Amino acid sequence: MAKGYPAALLGVIDGSKVPAIKADGRIYGARLRAYEAKYDLALASVKKATGDTNVVCQVPANEKPVAFLILASATMGASATIAIGTAAVPAKYKAAATFTTANVPTLVMLSSAADDDPLSAEEEIIFTVGTADLPGAGILQIWAITSGR
C-alpha cells in the first residue's frame, strides 16, 4: 500500500532527503499557547454595537493561530453575529456567525486560515460585531490558541 505524508514532514521522515531535514518546530511538535480575552458585556469598555470591534489578543511573529474557542454565559441574541479576524480582514479566522446557545464551548477556525504559514509579523486579532448589537449583560470569553516554538 502507498503511504502519504503531510507537507510538514516531506524530507523529514519520508526518506526523500538524505540526510533528513528537521521539521519546522512552529508547526510540527510545536507548543500550544492560549490567549484569553474575557468581556463583561455590562461594561462600557466592551463595544457592543453593530460594526464595533474588540481586541482579542496580539499574536507575536512566528506563531500560528490554529483555533479559537468561544464561550458565552448567555445567548448573544438571535441575530447578533461575531466575526474573528484582523482590521484588514475582519473574518480571516471566523466568518460572522450567531452564538445563540449559552455555556456551550464552540471551537472555530476557517480552513483558509488554518493552512497559512506562521505569522511573519505581530498580528492584532479582533472580533467584529455584525448584524445586530450584542446584549448588555453576560460574559463572553474567546481564547486564541496558537502554535509556536
pLDDT tens for each residue of 85-97? 999 999 999 999 9
Q: Kindly report the average pLDDT of the chain as a whole number.
A: 93
| Tens-digit pLDDT profile for residues 121-145 | 999 999 999 989 999 999 999 999 9
Report residue 29's pLDDT band, with 50, 70 and 90 as the boundaries.
confident
Distance CA 137, CA 94 (A): 23
Q: Are 110 and 56 in contact (CB under 8 A)?
A: no
- In the predicted structure, residue 55 carries a pLDDT above the cut 90: yes
Determine, yes or no, domain membership for 65: yes
Residue carrying C-alpha cell 526518506? 15
What's the CATH number where 119 sits? 2.60.120
Over residues 49-70, the mean pLDDT reads 96
Does some domain include residue 126? yes
- Looking from the CA of 39 toward its CB, the CA atoms found within 13 Å total 26
Please indicate, yes or no, if residue 47 is contained in any of the structural domains.
yes
Residue 77 has a pLDDT of: 81
Within the chain, how many helices (H) and strands (E) appear?
Answer: 1, 8
In which band, very low, low, confident or very high, does the pLDDT at 114 lie, cut at 50, 70 and 90?
Answer: confident
Q: Which domain holds residue 55?
A: 25-148
- Is residue 15 one of the residues assigned to a domain? no
What angle is formed at CA 92 by the lines to CA 75 and CA 87, rounded to 5 degrees? 90
Q: Kindly state the average pLDDT of the residues 63-85.
A: 93
Report the domain count for the chain.
Answer: 1
Segment 33-41 mean pLDDT: 97
